[in-house]
């Protein structure tokens, strides 16, 4: 999203913006659920976002009226399913402004997409003396595949440190960049800290050093306007369930000239031009990387989610999320004994915190009793926990449909936690 | 407002043991020890035992570790329960505790369960927390069986 939206002061008053977005909440049927007799307060959007009825209905209509296998039959249903599937690819392409449909590979998620790059791009090219840079704030999905690659090829994985507030240490990054660096893998937004990384600058620096760039965009697509051409990154991965689409679906964007040179990751149907036992000719892009029957309904659902988001005033949504972030940061900071982990000036609407004397797991259980859904644990980012020397955190992550009063509910529940555990009380 | 379910889970005794865990120390010597780990929430604890070989009784037991209130209190209460007991008695307490927290149907009636263990009965309604309550006991069991590490996953 426009940098301007981060920097400028709110042009409207925050309540006004919330009012304008209020109707969108009605698009999400699950938000009117009751949990333990209370209104659901869903603050676990960084784990999975909820689905609007537009997505649910599109997927349901596919199953009801058009379901069949794709790219195979000449019959009407197969043709319809194929058209819907490829239409979804176009919606997703347009959503990230990829130049070509050939560069939009349908995968099962971010994890799958990163593994594909590590295996198909890295494995045949990397070797002893080569360096893969990952940041200290990565999700395990952007660490483990590179670790496995390093083990297999003899390449070395090095870590870009982060500052105390949770930003990438750009000086350290510059110092690490050298001719030996072949790959830079960083997330666009950290799921554990909320930091929005300067991925454009990171990419430009990497390219100057001759390295290829893999951006883990899992947390970004639901919040930011992502333009892969403007970023100029080589690979960009994301998941449907973090942008109000289904689970089991994700995208790998890759530059055509790189994807073209890569061998397929999996063999099977749909990814070949011709097969005889003597010789196999692979299909072109993107089919080369989509062996077997793909997640058709999920892809159509993701297309619908991209369309849904594209039809909204995303600047306004972004502004609202930033307002929620500010409100939550101020409010939670006033909870006695609470410390926020991740205080970068560039943040998305994620607040990760620890509370003196209470383990996050206990916090999570008590909040759930009050209908407040948050994530507790290491968030698949153990190196981040180690960096801040905490075993786990509690994380509240907001989407555009969240409200100020939901933050109040979180705040009230946290005071209850302090009361129950008889900690952080005024003497 | 705290719901009755929360109150039922976080009973006074649990909160108290969480705050002041008993037998929380690394002993100078021990005959058995094991490390327990719940990778889901990162809870880690070490259990140390001194078992008198002749009589097969647990003459000393202690623990250290990091974890939520449920796992810490459970470990603390466990040490107070098994100290001075025979290995066999400790194992049957483990079984009783395990059956209760996982909601298994057994012949054991509620009043046969020691009240200090009964305070954990609430976890059976919270599947995500059962492992927190049973981690210490699994670790004790592993130590007695001569295993050095257990993981609840
Ligand atoms: C930053 C980041 N990267 C990668 C992932 C993995 O996504 P998925 O589990 O959908 O493959 C997540 C989701 O938890 C994430 O937050």
| Residue A164 within any structural domain of the chain | yes
The whole domain housing A283 covers: 67-310
- Indicate if A26 and A72 belong to the same structural domain: no
Residue A107 pairs in a beta bridge with A250
Interface residue ranges in chain B relative to chain A, Cβ cutoff 8 Å: 1-3, 5-6, 9-10, 15, 18-19, 40-43, 66-70, 126, 128-129, 132
- Of the candidates A347, A361, A57, the one whose C-alpha atom is nearest the C-alpha of residue A188 is A347
* Domain stops at, among A310, A334, A353: A310
Q: Is A265 exposed, middle or buried (0-12, 13-18, 19+ CB in 10 A)?
A: buried
Domain of A109: which CATH number? 3.40.640.10
**Which CATH fold topology does B4-151 show?**
Sufe protein. Chain: A (3.90.1010)
| Residue A339 within any structural domain of the chain | yes
- Are the beta carbons of A185 and A157 closer than 8 angstroms? no
Interface test with A, best of B9, B10, B122 (most A CBs within 10 A): B10
- Indicate if A121 and A10 belong to the same structural domain: no
**pLDDT 10s digits, A242-266:** 999 999 999 999 999 999 999 999 9
CB contact under 8 A, A36 and B69: no
Q: A39 — contact with chain B (CB < 8 Å)? A: no
| Residue A29 within any structural domain of the chain | yes
* Domain stops at, among A260, A289, A310: A310
For position B2, what pLDDT does the model report? Answer: 66
| Residue A408 within any structural domain of the chain | yes
| Residue A59 within any structural domain of the chain | no
- Indicate if A291 and A349 belong to the same structural domain: no
CB contact under 8 A, A421 and B126: no
- Indicate if A286 and A189 belong to the same structural domain: yes
* Domain stops at, among A310, A340, A355: A310
- Indicate if A212 and A279 belong to the same structural domain: yes
Query: Could you identify the atom of ligand 1 that is nearest to the CA of residue A250?
Result: 10
Based on the structure, what is the number of domains in chain A? 2
- Of the candidates B103, B93, B106, B149, the one whose C-alpha atom is nearest the C-alpha of residue B126 is B103
**pLDDT 10s digits, B30-63:** 999 999 998 877 789 999 999 999 999 999 999 9
- Indicate if A275 and A372 belong to the same structural domain: no
- Indicate if A371 and A351 belong to the same structural domain: yes
CB contact under 8 A, A392 and B15: no
Interface test with B, best of A365, A373, A414, A424 (most B CBs within 10 A): A365
- Indicate if A132 and A210 belong to the same structural domain: yes
Distance CA A19, CA A168 (A): 35
Number of DSSP helices (H) and strands (E) in chain B, helices first: 6, 4
Domain of A401: which CATH number? 3.90.1150.10
* Residue A380 annotated as catalytic: yes
- Indicate if A269 and A337 belong to the same structural domain: no
Where residue B149 falls among pLDDT bands split at 50, 70, 90?
A: confident
Query: Could you identify the atom of ligand 1 that is nearest to the CA of residue A216?
Result: 3
* Positions in chain A whose pLDDT score sits under 70: 1-11, 427
Q: What average pLDDT does this structure show over B96-110?
A: 91
Reading the block at residue A163, the tokens are 């500052």
């Amino acid at each position: 999203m426009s940098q301007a939206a981060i920097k400028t002061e709110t042009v409207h008053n925050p309540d006004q913006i919330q009012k304008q977005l209020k109707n969108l909440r009605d698009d999400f049927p699950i938000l009117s659920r009751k949990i333990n007799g209370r209104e659901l307060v869903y603050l676990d959007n960084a784990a999975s976002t909820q689905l609007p009825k537009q997505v649910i209905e599109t997927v349901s209509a596919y199953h009801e009226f058009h379901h069949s296998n794709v790219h195979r039959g000449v019959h009407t249903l197969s043709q319809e399913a194929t058209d819907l599937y490829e239409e979804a690819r176009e919606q997703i392409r347009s959503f990230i402004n990829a130049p070509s449909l050939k560069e939009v590979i349908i995968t099962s998620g971010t994890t799958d997409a990163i593994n594909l790059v590590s295996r198909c791009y890295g494995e045949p090219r990397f070797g002893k003396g080569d360096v893969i840079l990952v940041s200290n704030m990565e999700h395990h999905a952007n660490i483990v595949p590179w670790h496995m690659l390093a083990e297999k090829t003899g390449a070395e994985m090095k870590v870009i440190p982060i500052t105390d507030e949770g930003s990438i240490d750009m000086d350290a990054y510059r110092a690490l960049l050298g001719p030996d660096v072949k790959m830079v893998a960083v997330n666009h937004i950290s799921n554990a800290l909320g930091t929005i990384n300067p991925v454009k600058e990171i990419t430009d620096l990497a390219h100057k050093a001759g390295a290829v760039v893999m951006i883990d965009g899992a947390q970004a697509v639901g919040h930011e306007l992502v333009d892969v051409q403007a970023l100029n990154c080589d690979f960009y991965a994301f998941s449907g369930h973090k942008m109000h689409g289904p689970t089991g679906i994700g995208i790998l964007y890759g530059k055509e000239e790189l994807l073209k040179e890569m061998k397929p990751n999996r063999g099977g149907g749909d990814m070949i031009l011709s097969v005889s036992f003597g010789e196999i000719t692979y299909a072109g892009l993107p089919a080369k990387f989509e062996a077997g029957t793909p997640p058709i309904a999920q892809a159509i659902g993701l297309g619908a989610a991209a369309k849904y988001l594209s039809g909204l005033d995303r600047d306004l949504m972004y502004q609202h999320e930033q307002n929620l972030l500010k409100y939550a940061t101020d409010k939670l900071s006033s909870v006695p004994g609470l410390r926020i982990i991740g205080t970068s000036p560039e943040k998305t609407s994620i607040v990760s915190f620890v509370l003196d004397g209470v383990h996050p797991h206990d916090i999570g259980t008590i909040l759930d009793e009050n209908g407040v859904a948050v994530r507790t644990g290491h968030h698949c980012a153990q190196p981040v926990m180690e960096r801040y020397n905490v075993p786990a955190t509690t994380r509240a992550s907001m989407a555009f449909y969240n409200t100020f009063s939901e933050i109040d509910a979180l705040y009230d529940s946290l005071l209850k936690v302090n009361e129950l555990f008889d900690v952080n009380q005024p003497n | 407002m705290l719901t009755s379910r929360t109150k039922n889970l976080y009973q006074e005794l649990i909160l108290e043991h969480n705050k002041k865990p008993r037998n929380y120390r690394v002993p100078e010597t021990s005959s058995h020890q094991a490390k327990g780990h719940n990778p889901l929430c990162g809870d880690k604890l070490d259990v140390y035992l001194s078992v008198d070989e002749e009589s097969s009784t647990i003459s000393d037991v202690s623990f250290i570790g990091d974890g939520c209130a449920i796992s810490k209190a459970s470990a603390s209460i466990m040490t107070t329960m098994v100290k001075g007991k025979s290995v066999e008695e400790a194992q049957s307490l483990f079984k009783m505790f395990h059956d209760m927290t996982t909601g298994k149907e057994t012949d054991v009636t509620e009043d046969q369960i020691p009240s200090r263990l009964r305070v954990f009965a609430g976890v059976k309604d919270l599947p995500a927390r059962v492992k927190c309550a049973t981690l210490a006991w699994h670790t004790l069991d592993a130590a007695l069986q001569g295993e050095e590490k257990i993981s609840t996953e």
